[in-house]
Amino acid sequence: MSDASHDSVQSGPLTTADGKPLKAALASAQAHRTRRAFYLVAPLLFFVVITFLMPIGQLLTKSVNNPAFYSWQDRDTGEKIPLMVDLRAWFDAHPAGTGPDEAAYAALVTGLVHAKEVKAQGQIGTRINYEVSGSRSLFTKTARKADKLEPPYKEAVLDVDKDWDDPKLWNSMRNASKAFTIDFYLSALDRTRDDSGNIIKADEERAVYILLFERTLVMSALITFITFLLGFPIAHLLATLPLRHSNLLMIFVLLPFWTSLLVRTTSWIVLLQSQGVVNDIWVSVGLISDENRLQMIYNQAGTIIAMTHILLPFMVLPLYSVMRPIDPSYVRAARSLGATSWTAFRRIYMPQTIPGIGAGGLLVFILAVGYYITPALVGGSTGQLISNLIAFHMQNSLNWSLAAALASLLLFAVLLLYWLYDRLIGIDNLKLG
């Protein structure tokens, strides 16, 4: 073969043994591996979407959308029936702050007549009652008489109840008539709207959510710090002992996981109550008198003590997983070069445990901010967290949209913490085991 033909062969595209272009064959092989990997994780992905992403999506939607004022779902057919159509049209045609005229009251009466026909007046009143107390009875009472009211409708409605002249009531109906609203987030941040629709601070007697958020974050941070103080020496002991001894002691760390959370929480009630075991011991040794027994339950102290005990293993295990592989020769080398024990610990040993500290702190804090059972049982009025108020709105007041807004803010706070951890330490350094 001549040199020219040899160069021609070498300059042509590379191919596989079966004649396919090498680039296309590599791309096909990569696509095949990608599809195979996707098929392997597809069940897990489907599970995560169904059990995690969809509920969060519904939570976020519910926090900004409550159609109870303008939509009714028939219980038999499932059909969605529009409500307050004329009143919503009046709101759309008039800017915020406009006082209700005769046409507005006529639209209100028409809507109440229709709501009475489909038995939705209670639902409408409940929706407005979230913002204006007493609205549910106002709507149901007026709806019973709505089909008998005659023009002029404004005078007729006000004859039924003078509360219909309240600007705050009309402003609430205007906000409720929208498909999406941020009013539930405003309530969750102790904010409300005035008669003109401007955002203002809520009254002091109703401003409870910011206080609960602050209490939740502060107590969770305190619990995280206490678990770190208690868990660090425990993890260090487990990591430095011979394996046969550390495995035996590890059983005591894992033992709480084998006991019901309810049992552990109620046990603290027995221990910490005024006539409980702890107070009896202190009285018997003379530390306190029988008349001055300490109140350590149904307050913040009870919540902190019980939650610290419950969450302590979640701090110990990440710390232990990081401390165990640390080579003790590093500290011995520092000591041999003249470093004191404290200097060797602070500059050699401690920095190597940062991933475990960050992982344990992140895990404990996230679990603490969402805890519900323990604060409900031992917290009393001062030891309740925001999770207990979310449960109240879900189970008692049935204001699911406000509960969703509170939960969403808690979720955003956790995501912010996760972002800060990634920025300061790096999520790649997360060590959970």
CA distances from 400 to 68, 108, 163, 341 (A): 11, 26, 26, 56
Q: How far apart are CA 172 and CA 195, in angstroms?
A: 9
pLDDT for 429 equals: 62
Is the per-residue pLDDT at 177 higher than 90? Answer: yes
User: How would residue 368 be classed by pLDDT, with cut points 50, 70 and 90?
Assistant: very high
CA distances from 215 to 185, 209, 219, 277, 387 (A): 19, 10, 6, 28, 11
Give the pLDDT mean for 113-124.
93
Asked if residues 398 and 317 have their Cβ atoms less than 8 Å apart, the reply is no
User: How would residue 428 be classed by pLDDT, with cut points 50, 70 and 90?
Assistant: low
The tokens describing 247, both together, are 């495995």
pLDDT digits (tens, 9 = 90+) for 228-275: 999 999 999 999 888 888 888 888 888 888 888 888 888 999 999 988
pLDDT digits (tens, 9 = 90+) for 295-327: 888 999 999 999 999 999 999 999 999 999 988
pLDDT for 227 equals: 96
pLDDT for 229 equals: 96
Residue boundaries of the structural domains of the chain: 3-62, 67-203, 209-429
pLDDT for 109 equals: 96
Give the pLDDT mean for 137-156.
94
Asked if residues 264 and 310 have their Cβ atoms less than 8 Å apart, the reply is yes
Query: What percent of the chain is predicted at pLDDT more than 90?
Result: 50
pLDDT for 5 equals: 47
User: How would residue 1 be classed by pLDDT, with cut points 50, 70 and 90?
Assistant: very low
pLDDT digits (tens, 9 = 90+) for 163-172: 999 998 999 9
Q: Is 133 helix (H, G, I), strand (E, B) or coil?
A: coil
pLDDT for 112 equals: 96
**What secondary structure letter does DSSP report for 429?**
G
User: How would residue 421 be classed by pLDDT, with cut points 50, 70 and 90?
Assistant: confident
Is the per-residue pLDDT at 364 higher than 90? Answer: yes
Give the pLDDT mean for 131-158.
93
The tokens describing 118, both together, are 């489909």
Is the per-residue pLDDT at 427 higher than 90? Answer: no
| Amino acid sitting at position 189 | L
The mean predicted confidence, pLDDT, of the chain is: 88
Residues in Cβ contact with 239 at an 8 Å cutoff, skipping those fewer than 6 apart = 246, 320, 323, 324, 326
Peptide bond into 100 cis (omega under 30): no
pLDDT digits (tens, 9 = 90+) for 342-361: 999 889 999 999 888 988 99
pLDDT digits (tens, 9 = 90+) for 5-29: 444 445 567 777 777 787 877 888 8
- List, as one string, the DSSP characters of 223-241: HHHHHHHHHHHHHHHHHHS
User: How would residue 430 be classed by pLDDT, with cut points 50, 70 and 90?
Assistant: low
pLDDT for 431 equals: 55
Fold of 209-429: MetI-like fold (1.10.3720)
pLDDT for 424 equals: 75
